[in-house]
Amino acid sequence: MTALLEVEDLRVAYGKIEAVKGISFTVDAGEVVTLIGTNGAGKTTTLRTLSGLLRPVGGQIRFDGRSLKKVPAHQIVSLGLAHSPEGRHIFPRMTIEDNLRLGAFLRNDKAGIEQDIQRAYDLFPILGERRKQAAGTLSGGEQQMLAMGRALMSRPKLLMLDEPSMGLSPIMMQKIMSTIAELKSQGTTILLVEQNAQAALSLADHGHVMEVGNIVLSGSGQDLLHDESVRKAYLGED
């Protein structure tokens, strides 16, 4: 079986500064794969490149059997790759429901869109309760739910989440992580970037540790969770 996403020797630079220095990894259908690592490791740069927002200076990206190298960002979404960005980027003055609809901007199957809006409300009931309110009135955690719901509105084959737990209270973080576990159990394929290594590795099939633009360690979520160097560097143990 070939992987849903294959990244090979990917290099990305900002001007002369190489932020991603030749990384390779794959994501199989149905898997949760996580990229962990400290600030500035190149995680966000990697996701933005997969989305077509940045162009690589080298390497290959194959998604669902085709090269993404020359495919523009909006077409990447319609091929089935959705991105819930770092910082969420919801539209605060628009209603919650309109924010969700934006995630379906490339679709014209009206009935399917309504179905998926309902599915987002089933997943996150608070969004349904407040559907007519401005999205800016949501708490940080609720905005994260909206960003995830919006990304799901394109019915992606692969959902990329950039730091969904950032800045959230422990309870809200748990809620977001359990939703990711629920999506996984429904068969959603997820590429998860997280600074909360414990939470991410606990639910990931595979993980990769990034440091200054390189993948320095890879393994199953469980193996990395028990790896001594990971425990020291990322799980706050000495």
Ligand X SMILES: Nc1ncnc2c1ncn2[C@@H]1O[C@H](COP(=O)(O)OP(=O)(O)OP(=O)(O)O)[C@@H](O)[C@H]1O
Residues forming contacts to Mg ion in the complex (CB under 5 A) are 43-44, 86
- Is 50 among the residues that bind ligand X (CB under 6 A)? no
Q: How far apart are CA 166 and CA 195, in angstroms?
A: 8
Nearer to ligand X, 45 or 143 (CB): 45
36 scored as a contact of ligand X (CB under 6 A): no
Region near ligand X per CB under 6 A, out of 43-51, 56-64, 123-131, 140-148 = 43-51
**Cα–chain-centroid distance for residue 225?**
20
Q: Binding of ligand X at residue 195 (CB under 6 A)?
A: yes
- Residue 19 beta carbon to Mg ion: minimum distance, rounded to whole angstroms: 10
Partner in contact with 214, chosen from ligand X, Mg ion, none, beta carbon below 5 to 8 Å by kind: none
Minimum distance between the CB of residue 3 and Mg ion, rounded to whole angstroms?
A: 23
Q: Which of residues 108-147 bind ligand X (CB under 6 A)?
A: none
- Ramachandran angles phi, psi of 66, nearest 5°: -135, 155
Q: Does residue 14 bind ligand X (CB under 6 A)?
A: yes
Give the 3-state DSSP-derived string for 17-68, with helices as H, strands as E and coil as C.
EEEEEEEEEEECCCCEEEEEECCCCCHHHHHHHHCCCCCCCEEEEEECCEEC
Our CB check for Mg ion shows the closer of 44 and 143 to be 44
Among 45, 49, 84, 196, binds ligand X (CB under 6 A): 45
Report the DSSP beta bridge partners of residue 190.
Answer: 32, 159
Type of residue found at 78: S
Residue 196 binds ligand X, judged by CB under 6 A? no
DSSP for residue 226: H
3-class state of residue 186 by DSSP: coil
Say which amino acid occupies 24.
S
- Residue 131 amino acid letter: R
Q: Are 115 and 101 contacting, i.e. CB atoms less than 8 angstroms apart?
A: no
Q: How far is CA 39 from CA 19, 195, 196, in A?
A: 12, 8, 12
Least distance from C-beta 193 to Mg ion, angstroms? 6
Q: Does 215 bind ligand X (CB under 6 A)?
A: no
Distance CA 133, CA 47 (A): 30
The correct pick among 39, 132, 187, 238 for binding ligand X (CB under 6 A) is 39
Asked whether 120 and 82 are in contact (CB, 8 A), the reply is no
45 vs 154 by CB, closer to ligand X: 45
Count the site residues for ligand X by CB under 6 A: 13
* Residue 42 in the binding site for ligand X (CB under 6 A): yes
Least distance (Å) from ligand X to the CB of residue 187?
27
87 binds ligand X (CB under 6 A): no
Binding stretches for ligand X (CB under 6 A): 14, 17, 19, 37, 39-45, 86, 195
